[in-house]
Amino acid sequence: MPNPSHPAYEVRRQVNTIAAAVLCDNPGPLEGDGTNTWVLRAPDSPRWVVVDPGPPDSPAHTQAVIAACGGPDQIEAILVTHRHYDHTGGLDDLVAATGAPTRAWSAQWCRGAAPLEDREILEVAGLRVVVLHTPGHTADSVSLLADPAGERALLAGDTVLGRGTPLLDPEDGSLRDYLTSLTLLAQVGRGCSVLPGHGPDLPDLVPVVHYYLQHRAHRLDAIRGALDTLGATPQDVEPQAVVAQVYADLDPSLWPAALLTVRTHLEFLAQTGV
């Protein structure tokens, strides 16, 4: 049977020798094509590790993930990249079906196992997986670097997307953290593929991270320019006035998202004073 190409819903799409995606049928403004649940194992391992169970109330997705691993007993462990409901909502259904221990940065999403630690090395499904705490999209975001012989892949959650750039959560996301995390990911080196939480997989992490850093730098410059024009400081400006300056050409339906982004960048400028 030919391997399906992205996007293909609720089927296993093999991406490389260790990883396959099961794309959930939950497309939307924040979800893109839908949430990617990743299933991975070393070629000689009988059992799998699942990364990000997917959204709540999605039994067809839970069943597709279990089928992709050859049955509920074949899932050795579950890992969570971050707390957002479209990644964690299906967790308890998958745990109920498989009994698999689950690890995440936050204890809230752990089941029968301890929270992840930065730079921890996991031995799971025959793979060696390095945990990198990469806050910014949310405070609890981790990126998982799977490093079997010769083929490196980064499970990036929503820190690096297959398409577009992520919004930073106004609750506990932070541009300062995000820029630090991107700079860390740039050190991973060339030839590491990206297995993102949304969108297609990407062949090389580093150029994407450089583009993200450049994109954020340009936006910060545009916002500094708007502050100059308005004669205001990041602390006292009305964010909507900055949106009107920077995003004058934007479709008004996207202004709420632009307002979020502007707030994130103003907070950064206020924190750093640069």
User: What is the binding site for Zn ion (CB under 5 A)?
Assistant: 84, 158
CB of 198 to Zn ion, least distance (A): 8
Nearer to Zn ion, 44 or 171 (CB): 171
Instruction: Give DSSP secondary structure letters for 7-26.
Output: S-BTSEEE-SSSEEEEE-S-
Nearer to Zn ion, 159 or 193 (CB): 159
CB of 55 to Zn ion, least distance (A): 11
CB atoms within 10 A of CB 126: 18
Q: What are phi and psi of 248, to 5 degrees?
A: -55, -35
Q: Tell how far CA 189 is from the center of its chain.
A: 19
CB of 235 to Zn ion, least distance (A): 28
Nearer to Zn ion, 86 or 147 (CB): 86
CB of 37 to Zn ion, least distance (A): 14
Question: What's the rounded Cα separation, in Å, for the pair 93 and 99?
Answer: 10
Nearer to Zn ion, 84 or 103 (CB): 84
CB of 27 to Zn ion, least distance (A): 15
CB atoms within 10 A of CB 257: 15
Question: What's the rounded Cα separation, in Å, for the pair 169 and 152?
Answer: 28
CB of 150 to Zn ion, least distance (A): 30
Between β-strands 121-124 and 127-133, what pairing exists: parallel, antiparallel or unpaired? antiparallel
Q: From residue 215, give the alpha-carbon distance in Å to each of 21, 146, 165.
A: 28, 27, 9
Nearer to Zn ion, 167 or 259 (CB): 167
Task: Tell me the CB-side half-sphere exposure of residue 267, using CA atoms within 13 A.
Answer: 18
Name residue, tokens 């910060």: 220
Nearer to Zn ion, 84 or 265 (CB): 84
